A and B are shown apart, each in its own frame.
Chain A
């Protein structure tokens, strides 16, 4: 073997990873290298989000306000929760079309279990746990049919889509809208932290990334592993901290009539699951196996990985996150009605993950993609709503953004393939 066969052929840009300088200069070198080789990461979507915010700030009167910012968080929270589950399912190269109505089942179960005078009224927190567990159970059944029987996930979850829709229709046509009065359930989307509470949460969240880097550094001491690029670490830490503190600052700034606003619990729940699920995907053997099965299921099986177990667990995650999202949507309107799930929930959740760079063919993508994608779609739809634009146009714009994002990603992949990355 000679090094000649790893260096790219033809006129593809050559890699110069070894020649990167240290410190701040190294950052620019790395950015330039990544741009040329199409290794863009989350940068395009962050740029897109900023551009969308700027456009709406100048065109819509009620968009660039603290109140609308808090609304945006509570509106996008449920979609982001569903999108987290979609990331795991897509990483396997599977699809889950049932999540919209599984979210509806979660909302229905929680509404039924908190109903005063029904004879089975439960504490709100217990009701939510049971609802999420029920949705994970649905995921277990659907995942089991996919993994053990071998029916394609598209078909299984399409069946689930119809079945759970039917269950919701049957129940609510008879019962009408179920009002949710339980304090704890309604808090999940609508609770607002005090300004101090918001700042404390921002501090904890900001600290997580430096702690994880420090942990890796301590573990790697004494081995010959290439050190971190400290400039890059600092830049990421500043970016994450800036986003966290900026969010809390804007939220705390808002006022509705005379009561002050603050960081909504919905946003904190989403960020909590973002951290937990990122940890699961990137730091645990389970997460590694999910990527392996998505990359080459046969190789994973031969390596001794229990592929059906991984698939079933992933569909359970998808069901559970849909359940949590469903509870949040119910909390947002304090009720469950026939109009549930709201809008294009399923398609918005899948679009969020795909816009966030998760491949439909498995093995490639990050949990953070779902968060960024949901935020972009949420901002777009919120902004167009404040401009009083019709639903039809909102769908059209969302579709165009999805197309654009995936096209850009495809070009970036081609560039990466040419540069041998």
Chain B
């Protein structure tokens, strides 16, 4: 399998804090790559660099084999990279349709085409088997946690995206809803998308991921094949992993 996204030697500092130093990372098309690590390990920073929210201080990003500069969320969207943040980034005062099309409304001469948007929203939700939302015209404020998560994931998938990043998608969900979202994550991988799954929950990770990258203190300390590793090994890497290479010098 060729790599969809490849990151080499990425660094990012906030003042004197080195959030990321010399991180390598790879996702292939059609795989679910879990990104795990303790609080402050740099997971969110890495994702924000990929999504264009932060611009990295140094390093290289390759998408589908060619080097790219992602300097804004729009750049990321153009490449086919979509992020579902932990806080879901939904506008509570807008309805489901308006949220699904947020920032890229269907329009002709800046005039909104509501019919098209409503139609495609209903179809997308149906294709993802999200059936509990009563009306796509109800505001997001009235939805349950699981429904909001579904809307956010559906929004990410609707745009013919190639890489979907899910930041703790199950953190706020109950058991049944978690199972449904994990099922959705697996389905995304099977459809040929690259998926980055950020999670604290190793149970979730071992149920869905194909490979697991572990970050510790802003460095990558190991990539594991799910089938040939144990939770024990991953936990050890999270808590006591040592980088196998020196920052700034390619391995």
Which residues of A pack against B, CB within 8 Å? Answer: 1-3, 5-6, 17, 216, 219-220, 223-226, 283-286, 288-289, 291-292, 294-296, 298-305, 363-364, 420-421
A14 to chain B, nearest CB (A): 12
By secondary structure, the A interface counts as helix
Q: Is the CB of A304 within 8 A of B93?
A: no
Surface stretch bound by A, among B20-28, B101-109, B232-240: B101-109
Chain B residues closer than 8 Å to A284, beta-carbon distance: 107, 110-112
Residues from chain B with Cβ under 8 Å of A283 in the complex: 111-112
Given contact pairs A292-B94, A295-B93, A303 touches B73 in the complex (Cβ within 8 A) = yes
| Bound complex: CA A302 to CA B81 (Å) | 12
Tell me whether A364 and B115 are in contact (CB under 8 A): no
How far apart are the CA atoms of A291 and B142 in the complex, in Å? 17
Q: 5 extra interchain contacts, Cβ-Cβ under 8 A, other than A5-B145, A6-B142, A6-B144?
A: A2-B132, A2-B176, A219-B114, A284-B110, A303-B103
Would you call B89 an interface residue if the criterion is a C-beta within 8 Å of the partner chain's C-beta atoms? yes
Which residues of A lie under 8 Å from residue B112 when comparing CB positions? 283-285, 288
Give Cα distance in the complex from A305 to B122, angstroms.
24
A-B pairs with lowest CB-CB distance, top 3:
A303-B103, A295-B91, A295-B93
Q: List 22 A-B contacts (CB under 8 A).
A: A1-B144, A1-B180, A6-B144, A219-B113, A219-B115, A223-B115, A224-B122, A225-B118, A225-B119, A284-B107, A284-B110, A285-B105, A285-B112, A288-B112, A292-B91, A294-B93, A295-B94, A300-B102, A304-B77, A304-B104, A364-B93, A421-B142
Please determine whether B150 and A223 come into contact, CB atoms closer than 8 angstroms.
Answer: no
Output the nearest chain B residue to A18 by Cβ-Cβ distance: B134
Q: Any chain A CB within 8 A of the CB of B56?
A: no
Cross-chain contact B180 with A305 (CB below 8 angstroms): no
Contacts of B98 in A (CB 8 A): 288, 291-292
Measured between alpha carbons, how far is A206 from B95 in the docked complex, in Å?
29
Contact with A along B103-141 (1 / 0, CB 8 A): 111010011111110110010000000001111011100
- CA of A288 to CA of B100, assembled, Å: 12
B76 to chain A, nearest CB (A): 9
B225 close to A (CB within 8 Å)? no
In the docked arrangement, what's the CA distance between A420 and B92, Å?
13
Candidate in A220, A284, A299 with the most chain B CB atoms within 10 angstroms:
A299
- For residue B44, give the distance in angstroms from its CB to the closest CB of chain A: 13
Pick from A5, A17, A302: contact of B135, CB under 8 Å: A17
Chain B residues with Cβ under 8 A from A285's Cβ? 105, 107, 110, 112
Please give me the residue from chain A that is nearest to B173 by CB atom: A1
Given the known interface contacts A216-B114, A219-B113, A288-B105, the answer about A6 and B93 at a Cβ–Cβ threshold of 8 Å is no
A295 to B90, CA, bound (A): 9
Q: Which residues of B contact A220 (CB under 8 A)?
A: 114-115, 118
Specify which chain B residues have a CB less than 8 angstroms from the CB of A298 in the assembled complex. Answer: 87, 89
Q: Establish whether residues B104 and A3, one from each chain, have CB atoms under 8 Å apart when the complex forms.
A: no
* Contact in complex: A5, B144 (CB < 8 Å): yes
Chain B residues near A296: list those with CB within 8 A: 89-93
Q: Give CA–CA (A288, B133) in the complex, Å.
A: 22
Contact A303 B115 (CB under 8 A): no
A156 to chain B, nearest CB (A): 25
Q: What CA separation (Å) do A295 and B91 show in the bound complex?
A: 5
Residue of A nearest to B134 (CB): A6
Q: Are A302 and B90 in contact (CB under 8 A)?
A: no
Q: Roughly how many angstroms separate A299 CA and B87 CA in the complex, as a whole number?
A: 9
* Residue with the greatest number of chain B CB neighbours at <10 A, chosen from A1, A216, A363, A421: A1
